[in-house]
């Protein structure tokens, strides 16, 4: 038992979600700055030039309302923007437009699946809309400012401090990522910073009535880094307390190469930002009818897929792989509804094997996958069920369909992948194999009780049939004849 067993960590997470709009939150500048020249996706409003008044992006509001449904949160009928004052080179106005006092998304919750199959409910305090700041690039002796990101529309989702382990934190951010992508709120590309996580961690003795001082680890952009930063920071704070020192309330960064957190600056409190209502932006007023209309367009969310797939008895890894691609998840469900559980289970495993999300912790939710015809998948599943194609050949045909091919039966015929299940035809090949002197040793082994030797004989049947014989039928006939 180590000293760490005497302590418990408490985690709350703030997640910045970049909204999938064409333009920025208050300006008409292009919102897609990937691989763009610095300061090329900007407008006078983004530079904070005198006399430039913001105009709220209607689509950003609609996406925030969609996010509310995914978070099981009510939407405020009236929300307002505020000015959060601080000076930083990548914030030309000297303040950030945010929502402090009247956020658009109210209290909700996220149910995050854990490895043991249980659900961890993490309460959402609120989520508010705000604009992003620009980006600083630091060099030796100077820094450069890129305002392409300034004004990018965000929602910041603020959780309650409900998580008490690195596993729970990772599960929460992973599920939050799926929810935001499935709801169509964000593109969800972590590499490009579509979602960034600020992890607040404090430690205290188990059973303590008060939480310890928290440190905030800023701008984590992968589920793995959230987990590892939490693990490291927990031990760091325990070590500080065990030395008789106090944990400092501060902002820290995560060094992925060294796998450590590093102090960046002292942590400000809300009063330090001198919040005030923004006089240039009218309140956002939403009726129940408008909210219902927007949320009616939200497609099926991950939890609903899991519920419908429960009848398939799929392994958790298969479900996670499927959910890493929204198109594939939807197609699998369509197969289930149209053809039944057996076909859907087969298709689910094919998709899972085809997806390269071996580390689902950082899956990017590819939204540009080829739309495979549901009827083709059903036909291939039924061909496999009837042993018209082997499981190996079925996977080959599936990959062809995934690449854009059509008509699996015609494809199987062209590639000579149809399996022969004509008993008389296979029996003739079996006789030929059993009469071959090279099979004598395997026949003797089988009669001596060494059952694995039958594999050689089945292999010879498959070879002579050019891979088209039904191996199960071949094995059955070999046993009967011996």
CA pair distance 318, 194, nearest whole angstrom: 25
What confidence tier does 88 reach under pLDDT thresholds 50, 70, 90? Answer: confident
What is the rounded average pLDDT of the residues 312-338? 93
Tell me the mean pLDDT in the region 145-159.
96
Question: So what's the pLDDT on residue 480?
Answer: 65
pLDDT of residue 359: 44
User: Residue 418 carries which DSSP code?
Assistant: P
Note the residue count of the chain: 482
Q: Where in the chain is the domain with CATH 1.10.10.410?
A: 423-481
- The pLDDT value recorded for residue 439 is 66
pTM of the model: 0.86
- Quote the pLDDT of residue 139: 92
CATH match for 423-481 among 2.60.40.10, 1.10.10.410, 1.10.3720.10, 3.90.480.10: 1.10.10.410
Mean pLDDT of 154-167: 97
pLDDT interval class at 357 (50, 70, 90): very low
Q: Which of 14, 13, 9 is nearest to 233 (CA)?
A: 9
Query: Which pLDDT score is estimated for 267?
Result: 60
| CA gap 255, 224 in Å, rounded | 13
Residue 467 DSSP SS3: coil
pLDDT of 473 above 80: no
pLDDT of 364 higher than 70: no
Cβ–Cβ under 8 Å, residues 59 and 22: yes
What is the full DSSP assignment across 224-240?
Answer: HHHHHHHHHHHHHHHHH
């Amino acid at each position: 038992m180590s000293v760490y067993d005497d302590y418990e960590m408490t985690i709350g997470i703030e997640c910045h979600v970049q909204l999938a709009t064409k333009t920025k939150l208050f300006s008409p500048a292009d919102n897609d700055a990937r691989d763009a020249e610095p300061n090329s996706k900007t407008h006078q409003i983004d530079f904070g030039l005198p006399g430039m008044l913001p105009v709220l992006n209607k689509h950003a509001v609609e996406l925030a309302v969609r996010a509310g449904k995914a978070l099981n949160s009510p939407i405020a009928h009236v929300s307002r923007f505020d000015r959060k004052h601080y000076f930083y080179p990548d914030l030309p106005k000297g303040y950030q437009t945010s929502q402090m006092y009247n956020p658009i998304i109210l209290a909700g919750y996220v149910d995050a699946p854990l490895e043991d199959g249980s659900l961890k409910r993490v309460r959402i305090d609120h989520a508010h809309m705000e604009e992003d700041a620009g980006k600083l690039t630091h060099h030796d002796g100077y820094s450069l400012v890129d305002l392409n990101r300034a004004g990018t529309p965000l929602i910041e989702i603020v959780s309650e401090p409900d998580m008490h382990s690195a596993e729970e934190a990772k599960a929460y951010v992973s599920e939050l990522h799926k929810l935001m992508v499935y709801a169509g709120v964000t593109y969800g590309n972590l590499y490009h910073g579509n979602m960034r996580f600020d992890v607040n961690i404090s430690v205290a003795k188990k059973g303590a009535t008060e939480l310890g001082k928290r440190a905030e680890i800023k701008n984590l952009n992968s589920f793995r880094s959230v987990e590892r930063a939490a693990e490291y920071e927990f031990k760091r704070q325990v070590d500080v307390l065990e030395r008789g020192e106090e944990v400092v309330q501060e902002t820290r960064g995560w060094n992925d190469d060294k796998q450590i957190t590093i102090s960046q600056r002292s942590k400000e409190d809300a009063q330090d930002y001198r919040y005030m209502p923004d006089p240039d932006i009218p309140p956002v007023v939403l009726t129940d009818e408008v909210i219902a209309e927007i949320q009616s367009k939200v497609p099926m969310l991950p939890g609903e897929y899991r519920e419908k797939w429960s009848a398939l008895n799929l392994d958790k890894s298969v479900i996670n792989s499927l959910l890493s691609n929204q198109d594939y998840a939807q197609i699998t469900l369509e197969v289930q509804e149209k053809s039944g559980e057996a076909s859907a289970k087969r298709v689910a495993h094919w998709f899972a094997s085809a997806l390269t999300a071996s580390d689902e912790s950082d899956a990017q939710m590819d939204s540009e996958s080829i739309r495979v015809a549901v009827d083709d998948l059903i036909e291939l599943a039924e061909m496999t069920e009837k042993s018209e194609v082997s499981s190996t050949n079925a996977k080959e045909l599936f990959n062809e369909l995934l690449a854009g091919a059509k008509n699996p039966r015609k494809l199987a015929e062209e590639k000579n992948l149809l399996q022969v299940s004509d008993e008389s035809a296979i029996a003739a090949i079996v006789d030929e194999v059993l009469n071959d002197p090279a099979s004598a040793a395997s026949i003797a082994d089988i009669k001596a009780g060494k059952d694995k030797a039958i594999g050689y004989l089945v292999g010879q049947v498959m070879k002579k049939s050019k891979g088209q014989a039904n191996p199960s039928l071949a094995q059955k006939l070999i046993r009967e004849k011996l």
